[in-house]
Structure 1
Amino acid sequence: MSDLALFGGEPALREPVEMTWPLISDADVARVADAARRGEISYDASEGFVAELEGVFRARLGRPYALATSSGTAALHSAFFGLSLGRGDEVLAPTYTYLATVMPIVACNATPVLVDAEPDTGNIDLDDAERHVTPRTRAMVVTHLSGHPVDMERVVRFARRHGLKVVEDCSQAHGAASAGAEVGTRGDVAAFSLQGRKLVPAGEGGMLATSDTDVYERAVMLGHFAARSEQEVHTPRRVPFAKLGYGLNYRMHPLGAALALGQIERLDQHLDWRAATFAAYDELLRETPGFAPAPRQAHVTRHGGYSYQPLYDPAAWGGLPRSVFIEALRAEGVPATVPSSPPLHREAFFTHADTGIETFAVPQDRHLYRAGELPASEAYVASAWRLPAYPQPLSAEKLAGFAEAFRKVAAGADDLRRYGEIGAVR
């Protein structure tokens, strides 16, 4: 039997590699504490830290409008609402994404039409999207999954050809760029999450960005009634309704904005650190038989660094199940994981006629999805695995430990296959 830790050998990494995120500085703490002490804990309009954070996003993205929200989900709902989507409208959406990308479409009484995934990145497959376009299709949403940006030049061409509006879900890709253009700058409207795991964490929060006055005013009226709506809604037919707005409170908490300000100041540094970690992973995996680096398409000029996701090929390991492969890596001290959520078309909402949310105008004749209907997304979930996106570069000693773990697992593949076969029999 080999010296694999799974079989009692010494782990390649004797101590776990700690991962701390977010990285909170003393200045971050002081800014938040000072605001709390002086009672700056609620705003009625765009003011204080919220106004400052919105200004940073406007400047970075080169867009005239930025609207801070209580969450990335609220930003996405505001984006779809801003596009005036409603009953009878269809929106192309990736099946492999977080639910918040898609379910706000339902909250607008529009219909999400799920599209298969690219086999290498998990992002929306524009070739598959072609077959889903109908006369009712009005918009599409793309998610820059795990920090790998979608090819936005292709997206824009696709949308123009079909007369569609484009929503960018940038929640996992702050600062990422495709063909030199930062995410959030090419679509009609973009949404960012500022939740605690994201690259610009506020604890909870979101940001909408757009160059479209109509989208912006509708988004303001949806979730920022009274003071802000009265100040910022100028279209004559909307002005009489600005004070009441549409009744939702999507305002961002001032203390979250205060925290996010320091984080976005350091975003480029954090991206550079994660890029160094990812480059080290690439080199180690490339040098080890059976392993391959995480895919990166040619149009990517900057990865968002949210997650490092290589693909597992059982054929390269003689049919070794991915579960055993991950078990062996974890025993060596490498905290490898696999995706935990299925594509959305396998969730009950998309497979059952009775959704339990009758208040929304879910079409009675809507399409119900079956297993295998969007096969590339299912294959992607079955093959992807993850290494931690450590926010700071790993030491040479830790990288050597990772390299040794990969080497040991590759060298012990035969023993791992026998172990997997025994487990299957059990």
Structure 2
Amino acid sequence: MNGTQKGNVDLVKQLNGAAVYRLIDQKGPISRIQVAELSQLAPASVTKITRQLLEKGLIKEVAQQASTGGRRAISLKTETSPFHSIAVRLGRDYVQVSLYDLGANEIASEYHEFNYLHQNELIEGLIDYIRSFIHSYKEQMEQLIAIGIVLPGLVNPELGVVEYMHNVEIDALSLGDIIHDHFGVECFIGNDIRGLALAEHYFGASKDSQDSILISVGRGTGAGMIVNGQIFLGYNRNVGEIGHIQIDPLGDRCQCGNFGCLETVASNPAILRRVHQLLEQGHPSSLAELSSIAIEDICAHANLGDELSRQILFNVGNHIGKAVAITVNLFNPQKIVIAGQITTAKDLIFPAIERNVESQSLKAFYKNLPIVASEVYKQPTIAAFAMIKRAMLNGVLLQKLMGE
């Protein structure tokens, strides 16, 4: 067998193994017969794959299912507790590290301020934090199988290469390989917002949808798109820069160099900046009584009826709605998910978004389109764990664990 033939055989094994594992993970407890029917694989192939998965402890047999006749079928479900992974959220000035089992249960988590100006500082600091975390929680790790890292920047997730970060000069940083070589486990790298969209699809508000768009409003404004159940990356691997859609040509200059980008009016810094401008101009508001103001304060005061807070967030909803309408016309999603602290004022913001979507997108596209709040954004590292989950479900990590 030549190299090409062997490569094709290995790929088929990976895809078949992934198909079986994915069905057991998503629909378990499930019988082998049901797996064969749903996967359209031969029963003998399913039996062989499930035997291998059982031998590696990746699945387990559970209580027998009721049978309509003949031998009672044994159900299969995935095993989660023995397999652990480390999920890292690298921010612009902090790092959060968590320990997860394969069931997406967060077992432990640590937050650290982390200021880095150069690529080497980033690498060295990240390794130190992960090493320290492993040492602190080694008694709780049965089998460390992977490390996932998400960060704000342009990433090639297939190669594990960081191509760009706003706050530090990056030179084709092979972060995945560096972490893999240092800790001896597979490492998966992704963009934070794309990872959050994937986490929402696996564990949160869009798990019932094959096509969804997540819009995250935080320090910046970005989007992640799920298309046919997969994160949409495109040929260039980085899409979803919704924060740089021009909303107001006469607006403020954006860090990207353009004027009036969505991010200049609908991000946490932009909202806070607008509040302070209006307060300094003498506009009345209960926020003026506070010594410092956070996004949570603005939302809370808006919910209590403060007119300045309400007007600002209403305008934010209108601006987001304009951008959402564009994405709806382009992608026709089943669901829109909004993530960020602003969702605590969703009763004010979401109707504004909906009105703009209804007035600026095709009726067939916005009809029965839910706009909902994220269910997972308060878990900072869940996006990094989603990178690992994807590697299990598409067979990349699964194949490594099965020793093939």
Q: TM-score, normalization: structure 2?
A: 0.27
Higher strand residue share: 2
| Bigger relative contact order, structure 1 or 2 (CA pairs below 8 A, ≥6 apart) | 1
The structure with the greater share of residues assigned to helix is 2
